[in-house]
Amino acid sequence: MRIYVGNLPYSVTDDELRDIFSGFGELASAEVIKDKFSGQSKGFGFVDMPNNSEADTAIKALNESEMKGRKLTVNEARPRAERPRGGGRY
């Protein structure tokens, strides 16, 4: 299951995100999303856990928990909505 983790402190690394979730079971990946130009964290990330019951447990335990003074938003990731392409210029 792919898990969305929002409201992350900007200083959090992929390894720290992995450490938070590793106590709940096996992880396939953990990634903090970064701006492609500046490399600065965007304040959210994704964790992939192959076992759905372990993922559900992690979501319930970590949603609204605090990390470095910020309350995390943790839930099942939803597919990206289709956005129109182009700039609307004539």
What φ, ψ does residue 31 adopt, rounded to 5°? -140, 130
How many structural domains does the chain have? 1
State the pLDDT at residue 86. 65
- Evaluate whether residue 89 is within a structural domain: no
- Evaluate whether residue 45 is within a structural domain: yes
Instruction: For residue 60, give its domain range.
Output: 2-76
- 30-72 per-position pLDDT tens digit: 999 999 999 999 999 999 999 999 999 999 999 999 999 999 9
> Which two three-digit tokens encode residue 53?
């019951």
